[in-house]
Structure 1
Amino acid sequence: MQPAVRPTNPCFGSGPTAKRPGWSLSALEAALVGRSHRSSEGKARLGEVIALSRAVLGVPADYKVGIVPASDTGAYEMAMWSLLGARGVDILAWESFGEGWLTDATKQLKLPDLRALKAPYGRLPDLGEVDFERDVCFTWNGTTSGVRVPDGAWIPDDRRGLTLCDATSAAFAMELPWDKLDVVTYSWQKALGGEAQHGILVLSPRAVERLESHTPAWPLPKIFRMTKGGKLNEGIFKGETINTPSMLAVEDARDGLLWAESIGGLKGLVERTDANFQAVSDWTTTSEWIDFLAEAPETRSPTSICLKVKDPALASRPEAEQAAVLKAMTGTLAKMGVAQDIGSYRDAPPGLRLWGGATVEAADMAVLLPWLDWAYQEANAAVA
């Protein structure tokens, strides 16, 4: 039967994600609209967001944290263009964003000494094959596959290359081992539900040393330049942004960070994320039609929860027919105001993708799951 109760918030999409509980436009009333981001007040507000980000995530004091253009994509490409080329590079790709970094390295930067370690959707590459004499590029959490690295134990302390980690759907939802990571990037529109536009770039002392000692073989666009006269441009990491930021987006990020502090910081964020994931995990154990796309339990993402159809009657049919059923299902739920934006990513196998980050209420996730069962039965019958 059709469930009687709908989720309070139907936003289960994986980016931009649900706003924090209780959010309204009034949260942005203090935004410095109409003011210069280079004013003393503007710099202070940007600096506050940097300081709050450092505090909530537990970033080490000797790491640099900066606000940079163009979301996580801009932050990660900024790091690749500025840092790579001094050593050989290993790039890990098991979903679309990792594939994107691989494309950049091969077709844009045209790195001569490049190894690609790849795996299909649902799996990780063999982490034991990574050579840490080389620079290593990887995503911590595969946003489009729901597959994450289980921990940082595979990264040695005595590595000679740099580790460049795209953590955009992991930051504020999972513990990150900072001593294993030399570059970390993420965007505001993921785990804290912030408005899009800007990215965060975190650099270890080793990454700073590389910036100051290595000159890339290719020209750098202005928005990628992090040094002046061979030295790190410290202003970037104090709120003196390279280009003009949206102070509305900055205020929204500040609001999300203050909320994160109010619920216990990273510990509270992780607990809320884990509660959402546990609800979905328990549901899959009794379901006859759905399962995780990630094959190994320890690699299953608790934020971008990617699911595949296991019902033999549908799973044995061509992908186009599977996609048609799932499109009908997600369309019905969207029109009914039950769940928005939960279809799998366009490059991923047919399935569902539920955001389980801390801004989603566990009660809403629990209410959603019977609707998924109902909508699948309805859509499967209609398409059949």
Structure 2
Amino acid sequence: MIPANKPLNPNFSSGPCSKRPGYELTQLDICTLGRSHRSNIGKAALQKAIEQTKELLKIPEDYHIAIVPASDTGAMEMMLWSLLGARTVDVCYWESFGKGWFSDIKNELQLSNVNAITADYGQLPDLETTNPEHDIVFTWNGTTSGVKVPNADWISDQRTGLTICDATSAVFAMPIAWDKLDVTTFSWQKVLGGEGAHGMIVLSPAAVKRLESYTPPWPLPKIFRLTKNGKLIEAIFTGATINTPSMLCVADYLDALNWIDKIGGVDAAINRSENNLAILSNFVAQHEWIDFLSVRAEYRSNTSVCLRLALSDIQLKAFSNLLAQHQVAYDINSYKDAPSGLRIWCGATVESHDLELLLPWLIWAYESVRDEQ
């Protein structure tokens, strides 16, 4: 029989992700709208976003944070183009976005001294094979494979290269070892359910030193430039953005940060996400027709949970369409380049009771399509 109750919030997309519980546009502080981002009120809002990010994430005091254009992709490209080329690069990837960073480094920057350390979807490569004398590029959480790094123990404290980490679906949902990361990028529309178009970069002192001492052999677009005359442009890291930001998006981001603070900080956000994963884990353990794409439990993402089903591609499409038609779950198909299956977002903005209400619908949808050709 068709389940009686539906999730109150059917938004399980892996990006843009669900807004926080209780979100209302009318709750945003929009005093900056229509004002210049260079005005006192505009700069104050941007600086507050940076400072509150640093405080909530417990980022070391001597690290620099900036708001940059073009979401996490823009933030990563800025760092790859600004920092790489000084030494050999080890690129670790096990899904499509990490593979994309490797392609950009190899084909666009045309670096020859690049090592690919890879694994198939559902697995994690041997990260211990990275060289601490090399620059290391990796994603903390493979958003399209549902595989995360369980920790940063494999990164040497005595490294001489930089670690450059795309952590967009990990920050605010997984413990981040900031002392192991020299460059970290993320975007607002992932774990916080914020709006898109803006990225964040977090730089260690070692990354700043590289920026000030190294000039890449290729021209840098204006929106990539973080230094002038060999010195870091400090104003960028206090809210003087490189290009004009959306002050409405900034207000939305501040609302999300305030919510994280209200629920108990980043630890509470991590717990919410891990509890959501536990709900799906218990469900998967009870049904033979569904399983995690991630081979090992300790590598399973607690945000972008990727699942395999005992269904054909045609059946999977019908499965997802049924859930969408009944307004139960939207946008839960696996990523276009990933193995066929489901991808259910379990970040902090998703309520556990919505996941629990989704589970009977998964059973119903499976039983409705499994005999279809």
> % of aligned pairs identical?
56
Q: Which residue of 1 aligns with 2:56?
A: 56
> 3-state SS of the aligned residue for 2:350?
coil
Residue 186 of structure 2 is aligned to residue 186 of structure 1:
yes
Is contact 1:226–1:233 with CA below 8 Å preserved after alignment?
yes
In 1, the alpha carbon distance for the partners of 2:29 and 2:59 equals: 29
Matches within 5 A, 1:19-98: 19-98=19-98
User: What's the RMSD between the two structures over aligned residues?
Assistant: 0.8
In structure 2, distance between residues paired with 1:138 and 1:272? 25
2:367 paired with 1:377: yes
In structure 1, the partner of 2:217 is 217
Partners of 1:202 and 1:14 in 2: how far apart? Answer: 23
Looking at structure 1, the residues matched to 369 and 133 of structure 2 have their Cα atoms a distance apart, in angstroms, of 51
Q: Counterpart in 2 of 1:230?
A: 230
Alignment: residue pair count: 373
Inter-partner Cα distance in structure 2 for 1:31 and 1:154: 46
**What is the distance in 2 between the residues matched to 1:323 and 1:69?**
37
Deviation readout 1:207-250 (Å, 9 max, x if unpaired): 00000000001110110000011000111110000000000100
Does structure 2 conserve the Cα–Cα contact (< 8 Å) formed by 1:31 and 1:248?
Answer: no
Equivalence map 1:116-265=2 (5 Å): 116-265=116-265
Deviation at 1:380, TM superposition (A): 2.0
Runs ≥4 residues deviating over 6 A: none
Structure 1 unaligned regions, length at least 5: 315-321
CA distance in 2, matches of 1:126, 1:87: 21
TM-score normalised by L of structure 2: 0.99
Query: 1:29 offset after TM fit, Å?
Result: 4.5
Contact 1:32–1:42, Cα closer than 8 Å, also in 2:
yes
Matched, 1:366 2:356: yes
One-letter amino acid of the structure 1 residue matched with residue 76 of structure 2: Y
Tell me, which stretches of 5 or more residues in structure 2 are unaligned?
none
Alignment match, 2:8: 8
Asked whether the equivalents of residues 31 and 247 of structure 1 are also in contact (C-alpha less than 8 Å), the reply is no
What's the TM-score, normalizing by structure 1?
A: 0.96
Out of 309, 328, 351, which is 2:318 matched to? 328
1: CA distance, partners of 2:240 / 2:332: 37
CA 1:31 to 1:196, structure 2 compared with 1: closer, same or farther past 3 Å?
A: farther
Contact preservation (8 Å) 1:27, 1:252: no
How far apart, CA to CA, are the structure 2 residues paired with 1:235 and 1:68? Answer: 13
* Inter-partner Cα distance in structure 2 for 1:41 and 1:2: 52
2:285 equivalent in structure 1:
285
CA distance in 2, matches of 1:159, 1:74: 26
Task: Tell me the residue number matched to 2:336.
Answer: 346
Paired with 2:107 and 2:200, the residues of 1 have a C-alpha distance of: 25
Name the aligned partner's letter for residue 56 of structure 1.
Answer: L
Give yes or no for contact 1:181–1:204 (8 Å, CA) kept in 2: yes
Output one character per residue of 1:113-141: Cα deviation in whole Å (capped at 9) or x when no partner: 11011111001111121111100000000
Deviations 1:91-120 (A, max 9, x none): 011101001101100110011211011111
> Which stretch has the larger CA shift, 322-331 or 87-96?
322-331
Write the distance in 2 (CA, Å) between the matches of 1:323 and 1:264: 42
SS in 1 for 2:202: strand
Q: Alignment partner of 1:91: what SS?
A: strand
